[in-house]
Amino acid sequence: MKVMLIGSGGREHCIAWKVKQNPEVKELYCVPGNGGMSSLGTCYTLNTLQDMVQFAKEKEISLTLIGPEAPLAKGVVDLFKTEGLAIVGPNQNAARLESSKVYAKEFMKKYKIPTAQFEVFNRFDSVISYLKSGLNFPLVIKADGLAAGKGVFIVEDEEEARDVVVDLMVGKIFGDAGNQIIIEECLEGEEATIMFLFDGKSYCVLPSSQDHKRIGDSDVGPNTGGMGAYSPAPLITDQILKKIEISIIHPFIEGIQQEKLDYRGVVYLGLMITHHSEVHVLEFNVRLGDPETQVVLPRLKNDWLDLNMALYRSSLSEVKLEVDTQNLLGVVLTSRGYPGNYEIGKKINGLEDFPNEPQGKVLVFHAGTQRRDNQILTAGGRVLNVCAFGDTLKNAAYNAYLAVGKIGFENIYYRKDIGYRAFRREE
């Protein structure tokens, strides 16, 4: 088989690593790929969706997999299907569940999926009037469109809320993504992630996970794309998982079918588990999460390409998921300054100690890296994801941070507390 994988981050490196374990994969093309993916397949830069279609035809690609949300939001699945090319993912209409937070919230309201109460605004003056109406803070403000995981703000008072609204709707810090905004109640509790595979008829729940969004230890500072994650999440007990299936997954599928949405792929549920064990949906994503993928996929004993073929053929009901019982924890190494300004082009040392064997206890997935003259250099804000297995979550964290200590580059930064809050549940 020939497989094309679209994307260039840590999630995509993990997908590529998993796909290459299938002996039938003769060629893997990574578009555009990164420094780590270049050792697993051939990297190409293709600038448009039409370029990708033409490439898939020329290379006789058997199946195309999508990592990030942007190509899905632009309609890559629609285009490939029109050309008779095999691809896994939701079409552009279904991808609105991620590309438009307004659409997602209205979908949840319509199909009675538990979520925070919200109001939608598309006029600046209307928002300002609303903020002056005696609201209870804190509140959450969200840009409607895609903002690379950075379009959500928790505001503590009216002044802070106004500043965020100005940035989004007037300053256009995320471009057209801020043309509409959502203001919603701030739910209290702890966040977790459930991802499941859905082939249009049947679904299969992947192992639970939990990530750390804030840049600083103890969850302080601005939101990022994710500073680390672990799986499973002790927060997601069997009882809570059952509640998620009944109150969220089942009505979600009903909504997909009622709206006649073309959806075959991964569904990501960003969840808030309240102190009373109630479950609310914070967001939908229409693809695998990052950095959750890096701690979920390696725990799967199933072949990832076989699972995607089941999605493509709508035969997921024939699949039985097998999961490694060990814990897996990942620490994201970033360039200092992220999620703001940062430098690139720094040489990374120590990677030779981690060959990423299929049964390896430590796995290092590349995100913002590039290969130049047989050296791996930094090329982004999030640079690497260092993941380690352990019999307990605490043991997995110990192994991960031990590995982190063997890797270095100029101006490296990472959180020192990934998973620490969950240790108490484990103990």
Do the Cβ atoms of 330 and 228 come closer than 8 Å?
Answer: yes
Distance CA 232, CA 139 (A): 29
Please tell me the pTM assigned to this model. Answer: 0.95
Tens-digit pLDDT string for the chain (427 aa): 999 999 999 999 999 999 999 999 999 999 999 999 999 999 999 999 999 999 999 999 999 999 999 999 999 999 999 999 999 999 999 999 999 999 999 999 999 999 999 999 999 999 999 999 989 999 999 999 888 777 889 999 999 999 999 999 999 999 999 999 999 999 999 999 999 999 999 999 999 999 999 999 999 998 888 999 999 999 999 999 999 999 999 999 999 999 999 999 999 999 999 988 899 999 999 999 999 999 999 999 999 999 999 999 999 999 999 999 999 999 999 999 999 999 999 999 999 999 999 989 999 999 999 999 889 999 999 999 999 999 999 999 999 999 999 999 999 999 999 999 887 665 5
Structure tokens at 400: 């991960």
Distance CA 142, CA 427 (A): 36
CB-CB neighbours of 342 under 10 Å: 19
CA torsion sign, 335 to 336 to 342 to 346?
negative
* Among the listed residues 119, 67, 80, the one whose alpha carbon sits nearest the alpha carbon of residue 367: 67
In this structure, the dihedral spanned by the alpha carbons of residues 349, 338, 296 and 395, taken in order and rounded to 10 degrees, is 60
Q: Can you tell me whether residue 62 is helix, strand or coil?
A: coil
Residue with tokens 């043991």: 395
- Reply yes or no: is the peptide bond before residue 339 cis, omega within 30 of 0: yes
